Structure 1
Amino acid sequence: MRGRPGQIATPAIIVISIFAVMFFGTVTFFVYQFQRGSSNKNTTKNENVNKKSNKNTNTAVNTNTATAPDRTPHEKIPDTWKTYTNTTVGYSLRYPATWSVEESVIPDHPIQKITVRYITLKNPGTQLGLIIGVRRVGDAFSIGERTTAPDGEMKAGIPITIGQTTIPTTDLLVDGKTTATFYHPLKPFGFAYLEGREVQAELGILSVPGVKNTVTDLLAAADTQIANTIMTTLRFTDVVSPLTPPPPSAPPLGQYSVETYRKTPTSKPDTRLVNLDGGKRKVVIESTRAQAGLAAGFGLLAFAFPAYGTTLYFQEQELKTGAISTAIWSYDTASGRLTKQAYPAVGWGKVVTNRARTRTIYVSSTNRDDSGDIKTMYHLDLITNTLTSIITLRDTQTFSSGWGGTTNAFNFTFKSTDVATYTFYDQTTGNKQTKLAKTKLGDGQIVLPGADPSLQR
């Protein structure tokens, strides 16, 4: 049917409508897909962000709740722990049955040039080692291969109580991790003084082949608490009078030695003073004869080298024959000053220094023909450089059972750090020609100046 002019035929309208619907449908479909894809990407991104956020949150929680192993020593020692006893020095300690103890004795250390003694305790399954060296004050050997403080950041550790004494510890930090703990002073490098002993102890990380659980931080190792507990069990097994710790201003004196030598094969003998701290030989006085202004053939020999302080003591002597020890000299290691003291010479007398190397007692005999008539005993405080006459016998008594010079024979010693014992004789008896000794009158003991009078028993 034909329509009116200007009127679109019905079939055309239908076709146009169908195309319009298809066009809008297609556009709507692509818009929907685009929005859906964008939504999925955002959702995935949000999910990833959430996962990362959750991961970070969990990590933070774990970090905040994790704690390092406790380093405080155990109060009760397990019954299963073994006991190690060192009879050479006289001490003992307890340690776990699963740990091992290794004794090290180096007769002539290649660097320190003296004997070195210490023990190493370690758990075979870890890389931690506890090295402990102990000596009586005055023992002539070293107690550790380390002779100087290590490099790194030092931080105060936890205090450790050994017997009745509480000592501080020092942690060594390298790159923020604790790689060693020291149970003795590091600045200046020295010893912990305990009941007449010098102690050096160090907990460190050892190199153990085949060990997989590598320890890099002592604060994260459970064995650190065990090592601290071992230190608290340290006990001394023989009686030694307690030594008052030196003041902070008086560090250990160091390792000094006197060497006798000849400048040339035809020269008169001389002596030099050397220092061996840190395993390095350093000449302090090249010629004691020249510095003291002595006659040819004379030099200074060691009289007494204290455990701490700044003063060394020497006695002047004819070096070839060693016939007589004359004047006493002192050397201040801080100022480098050598001084002749106005103290009675030793001569053919006798010198005894206590094990703590803080006191010396001696008698003087400078006359070969004095018939052994020796009545005075002297005490030299090695720390304060103070001489005191402590005993003067009666006119008919003497400290020598001989007849003077090289025949003198004396019997006195230290009972403890602050108490000396002695024997005295009848000066009117004995006979040099028949080599008959003088008659013993008795024994005595004396508490030395500055000591507790209650020690006199």
Structure 2
Amino acid sequence: MEKSNLGFSKPFIIIVVALIAAGLAGAGVWYWQQQQIKKLGEFYKKPSPIKKVTSSPTLSPTPSPTATTTPDETAGWLTYTNTEVGYTLKYPSGWTIKETSTYSELIGKNVKYITITTPDGKYFLYLGIKGLSGDYEISDRTGIGAGDWVADGSITILETSITKTNLVYGGKVKEIFYPQSIQETSDGNYEFWATFSYKDIPDYDSLDMTTVTFVSDVEKILKTISLF
């Protein structure tokens, strides 16, 4: 076997060199691992930045506006239809309607109208409507009681604004006219006249129609008149 100058055989020297090389390689790997561990330790020692989380505001749905409905003040009322003239109206239950169609000796003409009497029988609404071509009159009244005409606002009847007029005597309202005299509708096709009056009142001086509870219903009736 061939020997080196130091007296070692070549195989022995090769083995020693291989062991030294392996040791150096292992030491290098160990050193590299230690450096990586050190870096990881330093990384985890650093405080992590705190990310501020901003919560989004909760949006509440905008409430929808509540629909308001106007109560029908004439709900449950009866309906009257006049096919000759072509109109309808509503009136309260308990009131009575009478149609009048007759020849009037006072004016010498035919006259047609209706009266709507209150439940107690003391007061009535007189109403006449006709087309301008009608061959009759809607009133045969020739006079009124003592008193003065006093305008008292306006009311819309048959889509026509008219002046409500009171007959005042002794500071009290004796009759209410819608309007004071026969009036044409705004379209010029009809004429009408209405009066809220009394039947049998024993004391005319004390009568005051503004204290009669039926006045509000009378005006509701007039507002329901509709042509067809």
Length-normalised TM-score, structure 1: 0.32
Residue among 82, 88, 97 paired with 2:93: 97
Per the alignment, residue 293 of structure 1 pairs with none
How many angstroms apart in 2 are the aligned matches of 1:136 and 1:194? 13
Is 1:193–2:188 an aligned residue pair?
no
Q: How does 1:37-436 map to 2 (within 5 A)?
A: 76-106=72-102, 108-147=103-142, 151-186=146-181, 190-195=182-187, 196-207=189-200, 216-237=207-228
Secondary structure of the equivalent of 1:138?
coil
How well do the aligned residues superpose, as a CA RMSD in angstroms?
2.6
1:125 and 1:100 map into 2 onto residues whose CA distance is 10
Query: Cα distance, 1:149 vs. partner?
Result: 6.0
Counterparts of 2:99 and 2:141, CA distance in 1: 16
SS at match of 2:126: strand
Distance 1:165-1:197 versus aligned 2 partners, 3 A rule: same
Aligned residues: 157
Match of 1:96, as an amino acid? Answer: P
Q: Does the aligned pair in 1 maintain the 2:74–2:90 contact within 8 Å?
A: no
Q: Of the two, which has the highest radius of gyration?
A: 2
| Distance in 1 of aligned mates of 2:71 and 2:152 | 18
Following TM superposition, by how much is the alpha carbon of 1:206 offset from its aligned partner in structure 2, in angstroms? 1.3
Deviation at 1:144, TM superposition (A): 1.1
What are the Cα deviations for residues 139-162 of structure 1, in whole angstroms up to 9, with x where unaligned? 110101214565421111231122
**1:231 CA displacement:** 0.5
Amino acid in the other structure paired with 1:200: W
Residue identity opposite 1:197 in structure 2:
Y
Looking at structure 1, the residues matched to 186 and 221 of structure 2 have their Cα atoms a distance apart, in angstroms, of 16
Distance 2:131 2:118 in 1: 28
Please give the alpha-carbon distance, in whole angstroms, between the structure 1 residues aligned to 2:130 and 2:208: 30
| Superposed displacement of residue 176, structure 1 | 1.3
Contact 1:167 1:192 in 2 (8 A): no
Amino acid at match of 1:203: F
Per the TM alignment, residue 75 of structure 1 is displaced from its structure 2 partner at its CA by 7.4
TM-superposed CA distance for 1:192, in Å, is: 4.0
Gapped runs of 5+ residues in structure 1? 1-73, 210-214, 238-457
CA displacement 1:265-288 (0-9 Å, x = unmatched): xxxxxxxxxxxxxxxxxxxxxxxx
Q: Which residue of 2 aligns with 1:364?
A: none
**For 1:182 and 1:192, how far apart are their aligned partners in 2?**
15
Structure 2 unaligned blocks of 5 or more: 1-69
Identity %: 28
Tell me if the contact between 1:157 and 1:181 (Cα under 8 Å) persists in the aligned partners: no
C-alpha displacement of 1:124? 2.6
Provide Cα deviations, 1:80-106, integer angstroms capped at 9, x if missing partner: 100100011111100001100000111
Tell me the secondary structure at the aligned position of residue 184 of structure 1: strand
What amino acid does structure 1 have at the position aligned with 2:96? S
Q: Over residues 385-440 of structure 1, what are the superposed CA-to-partner deviations in whole Å (9 max), with x where a residue is unaligned?
A: xxxxxxxxxxxxxxxxxxxxxxxxxxxxxxxxxxxxxxxxxxxxxxxxxxxxxxxx
